[in-house]
Every structure is written in structure tokens, then in C-alpha cells.
Amino acid sequence: MHSLLLEATVMKVQARSPDEVAEELDLALEIEYSGGFLMSLDVDFIFGRTGYLAVKLKSLKGRLRLQFTRFPCTHWSFSFYEVKHQLHHHLHLISNGRSKVPFSVIIYR
């Protein structure tokens, strides 16, 4: 399983009139994802050191808010709105060719 939409609810629709396109739409989604999304960054540290940071999202489960709006400009955003979401990840840092001790405790917890 990669991703699964368990539930979707329309929370808010804002429009000037029923005949016009909505100016704002808020959706509440219950999702479950276990696909293994990977993101990596080149990092510059102080004192001229460089490194490589990789973050792998192993799984994610929870309720999120998906918002589409036209003001102040057309855009969309999403965020979790319940504290009890589940996030499983793996962080890996390489600096000067050496792998560093896992530091997810410093960043996440």
C-alpha cells in the first residue's frame, strides 16, 4: 500500500454566490501513506564544512486539512490538525565523508 484516502469531508465552502466559483474550499482528509518518500539536501555548516542530509518518510497516518483559496493569490496548502497523527521517518547525515550518529532525537523529539 502506498497511499490511501480513508475519509474526506467538506469543511467550508466560501463563495460570493452559488453561481460563482468558490473563493475558498477546506477539506478534512483522513489519510494513510506508506510509500517511502525520500528527500535529500546538501548542507553547509559553519566553519566551511559541508554535508548531506537524507530524510525518508516511511509512513504517515492522520487527519489533515487541505485548503484551496484564491486570496490573496491562488494557492493551496495542507496541514495536520490533530495531534495524534503518526509519523515514521529515518534521518541520515553524512559530513566530511563520515556517517553521523542518528540525530532524530535532536530534530524531531
In SS3 terms, the chain reads as: CCEEEEEEEEEEEECCCCCCCCCEEEEEEEEEECCCEEEEEEEECHHHCEEEEEEEEEEEEEEEEEEEECCCCCEEEEEECCCCCEEEEEEEEEECCEECCCCHHHHCC
**Model confidence pLDDT, tens digit, residues 43-96:** 887 778 788 888 887 888 888 899 999 988 899 998 887 756 677 777 777 766
Please give the share of the chain, as a percent, with pLDDT higher than 90: 21
Residue from 15, 5, 109, 9 nearest 61 by CA: 5
Q: Would you state the pLDDT for residue 101?
A: 54
pLDDT greater than 70 at residue 38:
yes
Taking the model in full, what pTM does it have?
Answer: 0.58
- Given a contact cutoff of 8 angstroms between Cβ atoms, the answer to whether 54 and 42 are in contact is no
If one counts the domains in the chain, the total is: 1
Domain interval for residue 84: 3-107
